[in-house]
Amino acid sequence: MTETSGHRKIIIGCDHAAYRLKEILKNAMEEKGLTIIDAGTYTEASMDYPDIGKAVAGKVSSGEFERGVLLCGTGLGMSMVANKYPHVRAALCNDLFSAVMSRRHNNANILVLGGRVVGDILALEILRTWLETPFEGGRHQKRLDLFDEI
Ligand code: RB5
């Protein structure tokens, strides 16, 4: 897993349904020299995903972190929570094409994955792709600027 666009510090969080996957993705990123801040959860005990979604999305929204990763069972709940925050563009990418396009066209700053949807190897590949794919800017930036009017 290489990393090309300067975002070397990443905040990651999950609920109990994706705890195992979070550990796998965290280790993979750390092995590649990225600094990972783990916002929890730290066990497989049942918990409420909005609490972790808020912790991660809040820090991306404020600019403290350029990029974040959120995981839950489907990825749906974490996406819904994260996208309530200004300046957060959280993309649920349980496939590679979405991961590429969420970066190229949407400049997604939070990757969301469903730990009960994707296998470990696919998740690693989606994460690697998402970290390495640049935003294309241009007409896509103009469209993202329109978000601020909402
Ligand atoms: C937990 O059972 C599950 O609801 C959660 O992980 C997530 O999939 C919510 O969207």
The predicted-structure confidence for 94-125, as pLDDT tens digits, reads as follows: 999 999 999 999 999 999 999 999 999 999 99
Specify the DSSP element, H or E, that contains 14: strand 9-14
Domains of the chain, first to last: 9-144 (3.40.1400.10)
72 alpha carbon – ligand 1 mean position (Å): 6
7 alpha carbon – ligand 1 mean position (Å): 28
Q: Is residue 14 flagged as an active site residue?
A: no
| Average pLDDT of the segment spanning 43-67 | 98
Q: Is residue 105 flagged as an active site residue?
A: yes
| Average pLDDT of the segment spanning 50-77 | 98
Q: Is the CB of 19 under 6 A from ligand 1?
A: no
Alpha-carbon distance of 87 to 76, in angstroms, equals: 19
Rounded to two decimals, what is the model's pTM? 0.95
Higher pLDDT residue, 57 or 6? 57
Alpha-carbon distance of 39 to 107, in angstroms, equals: 23
Name the residue of 19, 46, 52, 72 whose CB sits within 8 Å of the most ligand 1 atoms, as the mutation to test its pocket.
72
Q: Is the CB of 76 under 6 A from ligand 1?
A: yes
pLDDT for 3 equals 47
